[in-house]
Amino acid sequence: MQASSRTCSGTGGCRSAQLLCEAARKHFHRSRSKSGMTRRRDIMKIAFIGLGNMGGGMAANLVKAGHEVHAFDLSEDALAKAQEHGCAIHSAVPEAVANVDAVVTMLPNGAIVKSVYTGEVIGKAPKGALFLDCSTIDVATAREVAGLAEAAGYRMVDAPVSGGIAAANAGTLTFMVGGADEAFGKAKAILEPMAKAVIHAGAIGSGQVAKMCNNMLLAIHMIGTCEALALAEKAGLDPQTFYEISSKSTGYNWSLNDYTPAPGIGAPSPADNGYQGGFASALMLKDLRLAMEGAAGAGATVPMGEHATRIYDAFVEAGGGGKDFGAIFTTL
């Protein structure tokens, strides 16, 4: 902004000039915000632990948002890809979490989450750092780890995701977040570059409750969708015709409309690629078992969930664990 060549002729004139300059500064900062430019104070140092199918894309999106990402994984290939995406890579978790503002984890199960946090993160990351565990784990472990972290002077949220590998890469995941209001507010700014939605589910552990309920419902929907598609074909109705009808009527659901499990019908999905990629049946079984454990702990009756668990258990036992969970269609 250029300085005015006009001089101030009195107190009123000076005050007017000050107000004009202040208005110009506010307009400039609003323009910077609207143009998508990242303000320096918004940039954070973030450790990302766990760079698998989901974590790799998530970490890359944090880099794209302008954050300084320090990454760790046991896989050399995963570390190499993270480095290609602009992450600083490290050979150990304590090294990655040193001097960061936040730690994000995406790990396979509750036992590993507890081991990593208690042995390599708590006491190694700076006091006051924010922890965000995006893993899908049991509610009890999520609450236990958060309690240990908070007792040691950290803030923590559980923030499991929905959306799969494609959404992780595209930055369009849905995060269901459990934690205190203040912690959620700070976590939201970190999660948004990876998300299409960031929803506060409630207190610590609520994110995991939401995830187990959501995926139990998804498994039930998928099995029902597969059964209906198979029945339509065996009863003499063209499956594509059934799709056109049901996807526009009361049979509408995400598994049918957006992730059709029959090859060559409806929406593109792993079914069109031999059920490779997508969301592995073994992971769906893991989530269903977490839901059954949660149901038992809450005294809830979930007969459809129990039946879905048995179906996926048998499918995984028969060797289908690596296939997308829509491959249940092949058993019908």
Q: Which residues have a catalytic role annotated?
A: 211
In sign, the C-alpha dihedral spanning 188, 192, 194, 200 is positive
Strands 102-105 and 173-178: unpaired
Number of residues written out for the chain: 332
3-state helix, strand, coil in the chain (%, to 5): 55, 15, 30
Within 13 A of 35's CA, how many CA atoms are on the CB side?
9
3-state secondary structure of 245: helix
Which residues are within 8 A (CB) of 210 and not within 5 positions of it... i.e. 6 or more apart? 160, 176, 178, 199, 201
Distance CA 277, CA 271 (A): 9
